Copies of this chain bind each other. A is one copy, B any other.
Amino acid sequence: MSGFELAEFEGRAARLQAGMAAAGLDALLLTCPPDVFYVTGFLTRFWESPARPWFVVLPASGAPIAVIPSIGAELMGKTWLRDIRCWTSPDLRDDGVSLLADTLAEVAPGAGRVGIPMGHETHLRMPLADFARLKACLTSQFVDATDLVRRVREVKSEAEIARIRAICGVADRAFERVGEFAAPGVGLDRVFRDFQVALLQEGADWVPYLAGGAGAGGYRDVISPATPAPLQIGDVLMLDTGAVRDGYFCDFDRNFAIGRADEAGRRAYATLYEATEAGLAAARPGAVAADVFHAMHRVIGQDGAAGRLGHGLGLSLTEWPSLIAQDQTELREGMVLTLEPGLQIAPGRIMVHEENIVLRRGGADLLSRRAPAELPILG
């Protein structure tokens, strides 16, 4: 049960089923780790292997049905699911397709409607040729269920918020220790390793995501792997982590000046701090995602990052909504978000700041410990 109460999963299923009823769906087919974990509690790092597909079918009422490789039967048997259908995978002739087709034909017979997430930030985690075979086996119709799944998953329960708060605390403690291993002369790859070690020591189960950068007065980008290039005095170092505990992610970063900070770096940091304050004030139930974007964008101005300035967070490193001008998603109590303003200090020198929050009735509540108001200097 992954430490959650049965009522947690019953509530999730019921909320999805209410959305299914409104959309006229007889079943929901889920294939990706966050969706499967959300409705079942099935938590494993085995998803890392692309060899096997995993299916969960949520009928119009009652508990989900698992249609999974037999290697997962033992673990799925520990969840609240009682209807667990297995095949020996990989099967090169029929890798679960007919078993899944039979299951769907049972819960969505005739011209039944089966929802699948097909929209932004989703993909179908099964071979495309097998999906074509599945469709050919069935008289049911597949329709997009992205909106109904996201509306339910976006609002976190108190049990989920507690888990996200716990992993944010892990990262807070690891960030406090960066001065123990980041210093002039130390390679960025070594800093990345030591930071992952600190996250594990502070209580992360694993560290799916670590990014960052370092450079004189700013870094070039935020998605490159670390090189052995040593940190130098005057560098700005940024570490951004998506660590996991009990299935939930944190996602925030911290910036550090190595030895000394130049005026441009201090100013950029102060602007990002102020932009985050504006985001914290704007992020409240009833506003829309774009409002929070604009609140931050007004502060960072024309040097601001063109991209999004934050996003949802929970079972994935990034979830809907996006804090961009286009996104009119209504913010609701219980949503967990990142605020992530960035700006260009000079050509090829950027800085990004990030915090994690939960929306309460009165406004934003920090899950990460607020970064210091001034760019911290190491050493």
Contacts and interface: CB of A to CB of B under 8 A. Distances in A.
Nearest to A95: B120
Given A48-B208, A206-B210, A74 B316 contact: no
B322 A90 contact: yes
Interface residues of A, number: 73
Interface string A310-349: 0100001110001010110000000000000000000000
A241 to B, nearest CB: 10
Given A116-B128, A205-B192, A208-B208, A43 B91 contact: no
Given A129-B144, A201-B197, A120 B206 contact: no
A7 interface: no
Chain A interface mostly: loop
Contacts of A324: 90, 92
A211 to B, nearest CB: 6
Interface stretch (A9-17, A160-168, A217-225): A217-225
21 contacts: A44-B224, A45-B225, A50-B317, A51-B318, A72-B223, A75-B223, A78-B224, A90-B120, A90-B324, A92-B327, A118-B128, A118-B132, A123-B125, A123-B126, A124-B124, A127-B146, A193-B200, A194-B200, A196-B196, A197-B200, A205-B226
B307 A71 contact: yes
